[in-house]
Chain A
Amino acid sequence: MKKLNKIESSAVPLPIENVDTDQIIPARFLKATDREGFGENLFRDWRFKADGTPLPDFVLNQETYSGEILLAGTNFGCGSSREHAAWALADYGFRVIVSSYFADIFRGNALNNGILPIQVEEEILQKLLAATSNNPQTSFRVNLEEQVLEAPELGIKVDFAIDDYKKMCLLNGYDDIDFLLSKKDEIQAFEKSRSH
């Protein structure tokens, strides 16, 4: 897994609420058997017409907006557990997603793929969305070590929460498999100890 600590970037605003993973990557693209290339079809049906021509109103088709940070409406990533959604976001180049609420499974999938989900108050999110929509160059600083998200031009600096273990994984590029394998003896002992 790719390490993550400091990110300095502009952001892409997506003020839509309840973005489900079917929108992030529609089911018809789940026939692939590897993890690569899903970025091409990220938000496919919001981004392109059925014939493949880009829909100019969608934010990813507007050149003024770019960056490694996605600002998204509340309850981001709800619905299907498909990790393909996290792969598509990562493949497209997003490293951080800021929202006021994340669906559980998506949050886990993001963390397992080197994407940092940052949860902020709804009020802060609305300020960030408005600022970025008005000025696409608005810059953001993320510092995972210190658990801080900052938008210097806006005078906004907020702390965010992350579990110590997951933070260590992201900072070092570790994943849970390494950790679980190191616990093999405990797992076997547990299996032996069970009465039902």
Chain B
Amino acid sequence: MDYLNYLRKDKMPHIWCDGCGHGIVLKSILRTVDKLGWDKNEIALISGIGCSSRTPGYVDFNTLHTTHGRALSFATGIKISKPKMHTIVVSGDGDATAIGGNHFIHAARRNMDINLIIFNNNIYGMTGGQCSPTTPTGKFASTSQFGNPDSPFDISRLAEAAGASFVARSTAYHFAKTDKYIEMAFRKKGFCVVEVLSPCPTAYGRRNKSTGKVGHEMLKDQKENSVPIERARKMKPEELKDKYITGVFIDRDVPDYFEHYNEVKKRAKLK
């Protein structure tokens, strides 16, 4: 496929650093759109604020770059008022689960028919490397120079518990898996979350050398320390320390928002 069919060439070069994983995730999204043959006019790509959230600017869809953390709420309005629109939200870990955490769990609870791709780099990239809700305890950030005292969220488990139809985690290294999960998400009704671990050498790697300092080292770390969820289920918590659990967390057929709301409309019209 030709990526240029989907990119706004005149917006290049992009802002992402050398070794950033975000571009790898974007390519997975584009490959999947291409594979499914979606009409670009019928795709809305929506983001909040962050390095990851700059994605929409580069892509030739209907693109909306909203306020920090709020992309899912804008997307909710788009999807409800134009259900035909393929509605994809891209979000950073901070965007989706700190400031946008409330919208995240509620979009999942409603099982709103939106695809959310989270570019999880465990840090606030755009603002220079402050802690995010997924920065592991003890790791370093510009606001945790002596080690992060907080406990991290497990985004995929959070989405699963909150009611999403489909949840999977992949890494930038495992791009073929990412493609597969994004395709599963795009084909499915309801709230579908694909969390992709995306290296941020600039803001995270430099400070946390255990994962590697530069992009390719961080990709290697993802390769070596990822554990498929089926295997992880048989492992002890100590064995899973510093591992990345990947795979499909949940894939369930439950009614999405529209199934319920269409019933509401039917009942209202009978009155």
The answer on A and B forming one complex is no
